[in-house]
Amino acid sequence: MATVLALETSCDESAAAIVRDQTVLASAVASQVEEHARWGGVVPEIASRRHVEALPQLIDQVCRQSGLALAELDGIAATAAPGLVGALLVASVTGRTLARLHGKPFVAVHHLEGHLCSVQLGDPLPPGPYLVLLVSGGHTELLRVDGPGQYQRLGRSHDDAAGEAFDKVARLLGLGYPGGPAIEAAGRDGDPRRFALPKGRVSRPEGGYYPYDFSFSGLKTAMLRQVRALEAKHQGDGEPLPLADLAASFEQVVAEVLVERSCRCAREQGLGTLVLVGGVAANRRLRALLEARCQRDGLAWRVAPLAYCTDNAAMIGVAAAQRLAAGQHSSLELAVAARLPLEQADRLYEPQACF
């Protein structure tokens, strides 16, 4: 079993972890949420600076917690793509430097592969193939997983990811950042059926619709029109916006769209297990709806543990341990990439750096 130090700085969470196979020996995360909340979203330059400040302390912390020195590890891993380039470079340069200093293999990890591996930190998974619904701030995808490194995308969002839609609607409602937790809290006691909102579909050029794809732009526009209509109706009478009902209605329709298309995809593709990962997987309404629908449709389901839904280094460590077990590691000359399709994750392990 490989023991790996993993580093994650792809966006606004600085994280380090030491993982042995699928067991987390130590994990630490330094969040920047409060700082970026002042601006309503992530400021890349600020994120990079904070990663530089936080990462050395996090590495020291996980080494102390695990009781392991860097010399005792089997490898050093860092997220290399996709993400904010300046932020990614902090973990990548740190990881490659430590790997060179201590004579350890360096493992560059695709961020989405890390999310796929996060579910392994909870209940055991059945053997592939299975379907993964990955929903985060930057990604909404349906992925067929046949095994480590064997991925096929079956559905995706054609505009905003679900997490981005939460952020933008939360801003519209004045609920703050990040939008997912803010909308969930605001809508907890709201009526999710009060406002009828559209479930956007994506048209095929040849006619009809993509059955497993997502679009949230129309939903955001519908929310804007609903808010403007309510403001016009109550102009001058002091009636506040029904924030609880608006938030609950938005959250409900997003959850329904994600669950309905995911379960349809699983059934039609003959995949008996549906796995939910990513930051939005922490949403309680989505989890409850997924469980109910999977039970109705006779599908097994798994969800990443709450502690590992949002960005963390433990999931990066699990992905890296799998790659090491397969005899794969990365060039110390490998840089980082803002964009890299998950289907091209194997490029990170080519003898010559691919970027």
Give mean pLDDT, residues 96-114: 98
Name the percent of the chain in helix, strand, coil, to the closest 5.
45, 20, 35
Q: Give yes or no for residue 331 having a pLDDT over 90.
A: yes
Q: Give yes or no for residue 238 having a pLDDT over 80.
A: no
Q: Residue 137's pLDDT is what?
A: 84
Q: Residue 41's pLDDT is what?
A: 83
Within a 10 A sphere around the Cβ of 202, how many other Cβ atoms? 16
Positive/negative CA dihedral, 269, 123, 147, 281? positive
What would the two tokens of residue 143 be? Answer: 């992925």
Give one DSSP letter per residue of 148-174, joined into a string.
Answer: TTEEEEEEEBSSS-HHHHHHHHHHHTT
Q: Specify the residue for token string 């020195």.
A: 69
Q: Residue 354's pLDDT is what?
A: 87
Query: In this predicted model, what pLDDT tens digit does every residue of 36-54 receive, in sequence order?
Result: 888 888 899 999 999 999 9
The CATH T-level fold of domain 3-116+309-349 is: Nucleotidyltransferase; domain 5 (3.30.420)
The proportion of the chain whose per-residue pLDDT surpasses 70, expressed as a percent, equals: 100
Give mean pLDDT, residues 271-296: 96
Tell me if domain 3-116+309-349 and domain 128-303 are identical in fold. Answer: yes
pTM here? 0.94
CA separation for the pair 324, 6 (Å, rounded): 13
CA distances to 5, 50, 131, 158, 260 from 56, rounded to whole Å, are 12, 11, 37, 38, 43
Q: Residue 84's pLDDT is what?
A: 96
Q: Give yes or no for residue 235 having a pLDDT over 90.
A: no
Looking at per-residue confidence, does 149 or 95 come out higher?
95
Query: In this predicted model, what pLDDT tens digit does every residue of 123-139 receive, in sequence order?
Result: 887 778 999 999 998 89
CATH superfamily of 128-303: ATPase, nucleotide binding domain (3.30.420.40)
Q: Give yes or no for residue 252 having a pLDDT over 80.
A: yes
Give mean pLDDT, residues 153-173: 95
- Share the mean pLDDT of the chain: 95
Give mean pLDDT, residues 185-213: 95
> Which of these, 292, 280, 227, lies nearest to 118 by C-alpha position?
280
CA separation for the pair 144, 121 (Å, rounded): 19
Give mean pLDDT, residues 171-193: 95
| Residue 10's pLDDT band (cuts 50, 70, 90) | very high
Give mean pLDDT, residues 195-220: 95
**Residue ranges per domain, the chain?**
3-116+309-349, 128-303
Count CA within 13 A, CB hemisphere, residue 9.
Answer: 32
CA separation for the pair 40, 47 (Å, rounded): 14
Q: Residue 96's pLDDT is what?
A: 98
Within a 10 A sphere around the Cβ of 50, how many other Cβ atoms? 22
